Amino acid sequence: MLRQTLTLPLICTMLFWQVLEAMASSVHVFWGSNQDFEDYVSERINEFEFTITYLELISAYNTKMRTTLNSATSETSHFYDAVDNVVVRSTDFGSVSAHVIYNFAAIALQGCNFETMYIQNPPRQVLRSLQTAFPDCLVHSSTEYKEVNKNILLDVDRRLAATILGQKACKNEIDLSLYRISKMGKEKPAVLLFYGPSGVGKTETAKQLSEALGGGLTRIQFSMFQNQEAFDYLFGGEHSKGSFARDLLARESNVVLLDEFDKVNHGLYNAFYELFDEGVLVDSYYRVEMGNAVFILTTNFESEEEIKKALGPAMFSRISACIKFEQLAPAELQKLINRHFDYLLQHLDDEEKSHIEQRGVRDWFLANASKFDNVRTLNRKMERAVFGVLTNELLKECSKD
């Protein structure tokens, strides 16, 4: 009779109450980047402790449920040994069902007894579950993101001088914007729009700013999303898929690049209004607060009038500064040619360098610098020319043998 009436929901409830007395002593909720979370965990766990991943815990839970159903008994709470730590990474949430997300704490406790849990960037549903099950055991920590100040401004200026050729007016405007952010941008994000031709330094400038502020750049390319994909990404579709909010929570620095922002459908702008105004983004699963962040939007427009017409007044009014990147002059392109050529030669042996010099590859590009208006295209063509010469020389030698 018991085997016939024992159901999985009943078993879950039964086991949950059985293990409440063996609850974890602490649950560490960490908000921030993947690397900072790994560092946080490694500082608190030693090699002699028994530590499992969340997916291993789920596997233990599933095994326990199957065993309980087959044996028709609830005497399974000590079937598995206790563990010291459970580590839950943000990527783990995409590997489990919605049922697990909404019943996170109960399932975790039924999977095995654990002393401490470390969990990164949990969805709101998971956080509520933890707050209910462990009201006095939650410990919150987060990545400490650098804020723009005068020292950061000077560091950015040095970085741009070393990596970005030309663009003097653009660099001055960036310095001005950063100074203003350092004084007035503590509560509200700064939204900088970089515009101008492709391949002249917009993305590299964003990377240098991000590195100065402590980490790798979070880059979102909206041209990669179709309408429904973009909607799900921005507002939160299935929890198993990536989302804008999840990516923002895992950012390494407070700089976010929204590449080709003009490709975003106007119907999706609602996702950005509160984010740009208040630094808050809420989707179906996550809430992100980014009050002192720097958002960099890029477009290939040639004027502010084009930008305003394309984005509309509501979005345009939320942009802190429009910063124009100019087409590079031939002399600046020649400097880039020499820089990239020297970089390529570092990877070649003396014989290979000799072949390249004899063919005059560098000289040809220097003489024809004005024919190129895109740095990425120029670099790609130089690489193709160099390795084309070397490939032909290799095949020529092989044919002699």
Q: Which of 119, 142, 165 is the last residue of a domain?
A: 142
CATH number at residue 119: 3.40.50
Q: Which of 324, 351, 381 is the last residue of a domain?
A: 324
Q: Are residues 309 and 231 in the same domain?
A: yes
261 vs 37 pLDDT, higher one: 37
Q: Are residues 348 and 382 in the same domain?
A: yes
Q: Which domain holds residue 58?
A: 2-142
Q: Are residues 241 and 166 in the same domain?
A: yes
Q: Are residues 52 and 114 in the same domain?
A: yes
What is residue 218's predicted lDDT score, i.e. its pLDDT?
Answer: 92
CATH number at residue 286: 3.40.50.300
Q: Are residues 170 and 313 in the same domain?
A: yes
CB neighbour list of residue 389: distance below 8 Å, 6 or more residues apart? 355, 356, 359, 361
Give, in degrees to the nearest 5, the angle at Cα 359 between 355 and 363: 120
Most confident of 10-14, 74-78, 218-222, 246-250: 246-250
Residue with tokens 């032909």: 392
Percentage of the chain exceeding pLDDT 70 = 89
Q: Are residues 18 and 76 in the same domain?
A: yes
How many Å is the maximal CA-CA distance in the chain?
A: 90
Pairing type for strands 218-221 and 83-88 reads unpaired
Tokens of 130: 């933890």
Residue 229: which of 217, 241, 245 has the closest Cα? 241
Q: Are residues 126 and 244 in the same domain?
A: no
Q: Are residues 214 and 116 in the same domain?
A: no
Give, in degrees to the nearest 5, the angle at Cα 33 between 159 and 145: 55
Q: Assess contact for 89 and 120: CB atoms under 8 A.
A: yes
Q: Which of 89, 116, 142 is the last residue of a domain?
A: 142
Q: Are residues 286 and 231 in the same domain?
A: yes
The string of pLDDT tens digits covering residues 344-389 is 998 988 888 888 888 888 889 888 888 887 778 888 998 998 898 8
Q: What is the DSSP letter of 293?
A: -
Residue 125: which of 284, 294, 247, 253 has the closest Cα? 284
83: β partners: 114
**pLDDT reading at 273 higher than 80:** yes
CA 40 to chain centre: 18
How many domains does one find in the chain? 3
With bands split at pLDDT 50, 70 and 90, how would you rate the model's confidence at 71? low
- Amino acid at position 286, single letter: Y
Give, in degrees to the nearest 5, the angle at Cα 80 between 76 and 85: 130
Rounded Cα distance, 198 and 293, in Å:
25
Rounded Cα distance, 258 and 217, in Å:
11
Q: What is the DSSP letter of 95?
A: G
Cα dihedral 174→176→181→183 (10° resolution): 160
Q: Are residues 293 and 341 in the same domain?
A: no
Angle between helices 350-359 and 375-400 (to 10 degrees): 110
222 vs 363 pLDDT, higher one: 363
Q: What is the pTM of this model?
A: 0.79
Q: Are residues 255 and 135 in the same domain?
A: no
Q: Are residues 31 and 157 in the same domain?
A: no
What is residue 32's predicted lDDT score, i.e. its pLDDT?
Answer: 93
What is residue 23's predicted lDDT score, i.e. its pLDDT?
Answer: 55
Mean pLDDT of 88-111: 84
The string of pLDDT tens digits covering residues 311-335 is 889 999 999 989 999 888 888 888 8
Residue 326: which of 348, 306, 302 has the closest Cα? 302
